Amino acid sequence: MIPIQAYPETNSNFRSSRRCISLLLGLTIILGFGFQIDAEDLVALKPKLPAAMFVGTPKDAPAGTSVGPASDKGKPPLMIPKDVKNIAPGKKITTNDTNSSPSVLVKLTDGDKEANDNAVVLLRKGTRWVQFDLGSTHEVFALVIWHAHDTPKVYHDVVVQTADDAEFTKNVHTLFNNDQDNSSGLGVGTDREYFETNEGKTIDAKGGKIRYIRLYSKGNTDSSLNEYTEVEIYGRPQK
Amino acid sequence: MSRALTLGLLVALATALALRCPQLGIRPAHNDEAVNAIKFQGLWEHGSYKYDPNEHHGPSLLYFTEAWGKLTGVPNFQHFDDARFRVVTVIFGLGLILLLPLVADGLGRNATICAAIFTAISPAMVFYSRYYIHEMLLVFFTFLALVAGWRYTRSHKIGWALLAGAAIGLMQATKETFVLTLAAISAAFVLNHIWMRRIEASDAPTKFKLNFTHLLAALAVWLVVAFILFSSFFTNASGPLDAVRTYLPWLHRAGGASPHIHPWNFYLSRLAWFHPDKGPVFSEALILLLAIIGLVVAFTRRGLVGVNANLVRFLAFYTLILTAIYSLLSYKTPWCLLSFWHGTILLAAVGAAALLQWVRPRTMKVAVGILLLTGAAQLAFQAWQAGIVYSADRRNPYVYAQTSPDILNLVAKLDTLARAHPQKYQMLVKVMSPESNYWPLPWYLRQFNNVGWWPEVPTDPFAPVMIVSTQFQAGFDEKKTHLMVGMFELRPQTFFELYVELDLWRDYLRAIKPNPSQP
C-alpha cells in the first residue's frame, strides 16, 4: 500500500510543480506580451502639430511706440528708508569704453531721463560697463537704471555688481544678472530680461555697504550698441 | 552696337554686379521672403504649387527659382539659403540692363548708357534686386514687353509681337498689379497717339499699321503663358479662374482695408529726401531732377539728337500715369515704387543726355559731365549703404516691416539647444504668437522637424523649448520647470520670449564653451 502520507507529499510536489509551471507560464505570457507590446504595439506619442499659417506683409510699426505693459508693471514699489536720497550726482564715473570721456559720462546723473539723443550716452558694442565710485562706503538701498527707451528694446547681459575696490577684485557681489548663458563671463544669471521703458529698471540693493558699483550690458535687440540715459543710486553714508 | 555703347553697358553691368552681389545673405529674411521660400519648398520637394488668389502673388517667382535651382544643380532644399534665393532677383535686376541695347535706337546712345548706369546704381533698384519678392520680376517683364513692343513697331516681325505677348503673360503670372502697368501702357499709347495727331500734326502714326493677326497671336501667347503658369502646368484647374477672382480681395485692400495705407506722397518722399533721426540722408533726387528734364525734352523735342521722340514721349506719358496711379492708391508698400521708378530712370537718362547736348561751351559740358559723375558716385555710395550697411535698418527708406537681425541670435541659440538635446533636431519646439505673427521663423526653423505653431496659447503649451510672443505675458517660468532665457526682437515692436526646460538649459550651458574674454 502506498502510504497515505505519500500521496499528499506527491500531491504536494505535483501541486508545487504545477505552481512553478503556472508561474513560469504566467511570467512567459506576461513577459512575452510585454515584449510583444514593446516590439510591435508601443509607439512614441507624436501629436500632430499645427503647421505655420501663411500670412501677408506685416504692418510696418512706427518707431517709438510701446509694446505693452512694462516688465515691472504690477509689482509693489520698493520700500526704502525715509532719509535715503539719490547720491549718484557728482560721483566719479568711469567706463571700459575708451571712446567715452568723463564729460560725456556726467550725462548719466544730470537728471535728464528723456528719450532724446542729447540725454543718451553711447558706448561701443561688446560687453561694456560704467562704474560709479561713491567716494566712501555707503548704505545703498536701490538703483534705478534707464538705458535708451526711445523705442521698445531689450538690453542683453544686464549685470549689476558691487565691490570694495575699483578693480572689482575684493568683495564682489552681484545684485542683478540676466546673462543666462554667461556670454559676458560674469557668471550664469538667473534674472529675467525686461523691456526698457520710461520707468527704468529698479534694482534692490538691500542696504548693502557699497563703495563701487558697476553696470554691465552687451547690446540690445535693436542694435549692438550700449546706451544709458540716467542712473540713480539711492543710499546714505554708512552709519 | 557702337564701341562706346558696349563699353558703357559693360561698366554698368560690372557696377550693378558689384552693388548687388556682395553679402547677399546679410539681411535677415523679410516676412514675405520667408513665405516665398517656404512656398517654394513645397514646389521643390513635392512638385506642388497652387495659386492663392488672396495672398502671395503669382507663380512666376517660384517657377523661375525652380529653374535656377535645377540649372545650378542644387541637390536638395537644404542647399537653399537667403543668398541663393536672392540671386534670382539679382539676375532679373541685371536683366533690365541687358535689355537696354534693344531700345538703343530709340533712346540714343548716350541716353542708353545713362539708363544702364542709373539702373545699376539707383539705391531702390539695388535694394530690391537683393530682395526675394516678385517686384523685380514684374519690372523686368514689363520692360521686356515694352522692348518687344518697340522692336515690333520697328520691324513688324511677328516674333516681337509674340515676345511682347509672352512678357505680358509673365507680368500677369508675377503680380496682380500688372493691370496698373498695363493700364498705364495703354493710356500712354493712346495719349501719345493723340499728341502726335493733334499737337504735332504729325503723320507718323499712319506709317504704323496695326496687324490684327499679329495682335491676336500676341494675345493668344499672353493667355497661354498665363494659363500654363496659373494652372501650375495643368495640375490646378481653378488656377486660371483664380487669376481673375484675385482682384476682388485686392480691390478691397486698395480701398483701405489694409495695414498698408499711406499718404499719396509716400513713395516720392522716400525717393526724394529721406532723413530720419540719427540716420544718413537717402535721396535719389538726382534721378528725379534729370527725369524732369527728360519730361521737358519729351514734350518740347529740345535736345533730341539720335533719339526717337515718339518713344520718349510715350515713356513720359507712361511714367507720369503710372506714378499717379501708384501715388493715388492708398495701399502702398515701398517696393511697389519700382514699377514707375524704372520709367523715371529711363526718362532721367534722356534728361542727362539732353543736358550734355544743350550745354555750351565745351568747358561747361565737361563741368556738367563731372557733376553728373559725382552725383552718380554718390548714388552708388547710397546704394551700397542701402543694400549692405543699412539693409535691415529702419532708417533706410526701402526697409519696411523688416525682420530684426536680433532674430538670428534666437536661431543660433536654438541650434545650440538642439545639439544639446538628446533628440537633436527632433526636439519639440512650440511657437505661440497672435495672428500667426511669427514669420520668418518657419523659414529659419526649417531644419527642426518637430515644431508646432499656434496663434494662441494652447491647452498644453509646455515643451522643452517654447518661443512665445511677449504679448501673451506667458510667465511659463513661474512653475520653475522652465527658464525664460532671453527676449528677442522679431521686428520692431514684435518680441518673443524664449523658454527652455531647466535640465535642457543645464545641458546647454555645459555644451557652450565658457567665454574666455572677461570684460
Report how many domains make up chain B.
Answer: 2
Q: Which residue of A has its CA nearest to B404?
A: A222
Q: What SS3 class is residue B119?
A: helix
CA distance B406 to chain A (A): 5
CA distance A16 to chain B (A): 49
The whole-number pLDDT of residue A12 equals 46
The span from the CA of B197 to the CA of B202, in Å, is 5
B268 and B310 inside one domain? yes
Q: Which of B329, B354, B389 is the last residue of a domain?
A: B389
Q: Which residue of A has its CA nearest to B54?
A: A56
pLDDT tens, position by position, B211-234: 899 999 999 999 999 999 999 999
Q: Which of B260, B406, B485 sits opposite A180 (nearest CB)?
A: B485
The whole-number pLDDT of residue A155 equals 94
pLDDT surpasses 90 at B141 = yes
pLDDT band, very low/low/confident/very high, at A172 (cuts 50, 70, 90): very high
SS (H, E, C) A13-81: HHHHHHHHHHHHHHHHHHHHHHHHHHHHHCCCCCCCCCCCCCCCCCCCCCCCCCCCCCCCCCCCCCCCC
B420 and B345 inside one domain? no
Q: Is B398 within a domain?
A: no
In 3D, which of B241, B240, B244, B224 has the Cα closest to residue B232? B240
B382 and B347 inside one domain? yes
* B485-513 average pLDDT score: 92
How is residue B498 written as a grid cell?
A: 524664449
The whole-number pLDDT of residue B256 equals 65
Task: Provide the ipTM.
Answer: 0.80
The whole-number pLDDT of residue A46 equals 63
CA distance B407 to chain A (A): 9
pTM summary value: 0.86
> Do the Cβ atoms of A195 and B438 come within 8 Å?
no
pLDDT band, very low/low/confident/very high, at B514 (cuts 50, 70, 90): low
Ramachandran bin of A144, using left for φ above 0, alpha for ψ from -120 to 50, beta for the remaining angles: beta
pLDDT surpasses 90 at B259 = no
* B369-382 average pLDDT score: 97
pLDDT surpasses 60 at B518 = no
> Do the Cβ atoms of B38 and A52 come within 8 Å?
yes
Chain B residues near residue A61 by CB distance under 8 angstroms:
401, 491-494
The whole-number pLDDT of residue A119 equals 87
CA distance B513 to chain A (A): 9
pLDDT surpasses 60 at A35 = no
Segments in chain A forming alpha helices (H):
6-36, 102-105
Residue B202 belongs to domain spanning? 3-389
Domain A85-237 belongs to what topology?
Jelly Rolls (2.60.120)
The whole-number pLDDT of residue A103 equals 86
B461 and B327 inside one domain? no
A10 vs B308, more confident: B308
Q: Which of B400, B438, B477 sits opposite A60 (nearest CB)?
A: B400
Lowest-confidence segment of A97-111, B161-175, B356-370, B502-516 by average pLDDT: B502-516
> Do the Cβ atoms of A61 and B494 come within 8 Å?
yes
Q: Which residue of A has its CA nearest to B485?
A: A180
Q: Which of B328, B355, B389 is the last residue of a domain?
A: B389
B131 and B44 inside one domain? yes
For B203, residues 6+ apart whose C-beta sits below 8 A from its C-beta are none
> Do the Cβ atoms of B470 and A69 come within 8 Å?
no
The span from the CA of B465 to the CA of B427, in Å, is 8
Lowest-confidence segment of A40-44, B160-164, B393-397, B430-434 by average pLDDT: A40-44
B327 and B412 inside one domain? no
Q: Is B399 within a domain?
A: no
The span from the CA of A160 to the CA of A132, in Å, is 11
pLDDT tens, position by position, B464-481: 999 999 999 999 999 889
B106 vs A82, more confident: B106
B150 vs A68, more confident: B150
Chain B residues near residue A50 by CB distance under 8 angstroms:
452-454
The span from the CA of B143 to the CA of B166, in Å, is 12
The span from the CA of B234 to the CA of B238, in Å, is 10
The span from the CA of B33 to the CA of B40, in Å, is 10
The whole-number pLDDT of residue A48 equals 76
pLDDT tens, position by position, B437-469: 999 999 999 999 999 999 999 999 999 999 999
The whole-number pLDDT of residue A239 equals 75
What is the percent of chain A with per-residue pLDDT over 90, rounded to a whole number? 51
Write the burial class of residue A6 (CB in 10 Å: 0-12 exposed, 13-18 middle, 19+ buried).
exposed
The span from the CA of B432 to the CA of B454, in Å, is 5
B296 and B200 inside one domain? yes
Write the burial class of residue B320 (CB in 10 Å: 0-12 exposed, 13-18 middle, 19+ buried).
buried
The whole-number pLDDT of residue B250 equals 77
Query: Could you identify the residue written with the cell 519696411?
Result: B400
SS (H, E, C) B159-180: HHHHHHHHHHHHHHCCCCCHHH
Chain B residues near residue A49 by CB distance under 8 angstroms:
430, 450-453
The whole-number pLDDT of residue B395 equals 93
B378 and B430 inside one domain? no
Q: Which residue of B has its CA nearest to A195?
A: B487
The whole-number pLDDT of residue A225 equals 92
pLDDT band, very low/low/confident/very high, at B115 (cuts 50, 70, 90): very high
pLDDT band, very low/low/confident/very high, at B20 (cuts 50, 70, 90): very high
Chain B residues near residue A221 by CB distance under 8 angstroms:
404, 406, 487-489, 495
Ramachandran bin of A18, using left for φ above 0, alpha for ψ from -120 to 50, beta for the remaining angles: alpha
> Do the Cβ atoms of A49 and B55 come within 8 Å?
no
> Do the Cβ atoms of A182 and B451 come within 8 Å?
no
pLDDT tens, position by position, A190-230: 999 999 888 889 999 999 999 999 999 999 998 889 999 99
B431 and B375 inside one domain? no
* A183-187 average pLDDT score: 94
Q: Which of B358, B389, B420 is the last residue of a domain?
A: B389
B60 and B207 inside one domain? yes
B412 and B385 inside one domain? no
The whole-number pLDDT of residue A50 equals 77
pLDDT band, very low/low/confident/very high, at A4 (cuts 50, 70, 90): very low
B130 and B246 inside one domain? yes
CB-based contact B107:B314 (threshold 8 Å):
no
> Do the Cβ atoms of A58 and B277 come within 8 Å?
no
> Do the Cβ atoms of A58 and B437 come within 8 Å?
yes
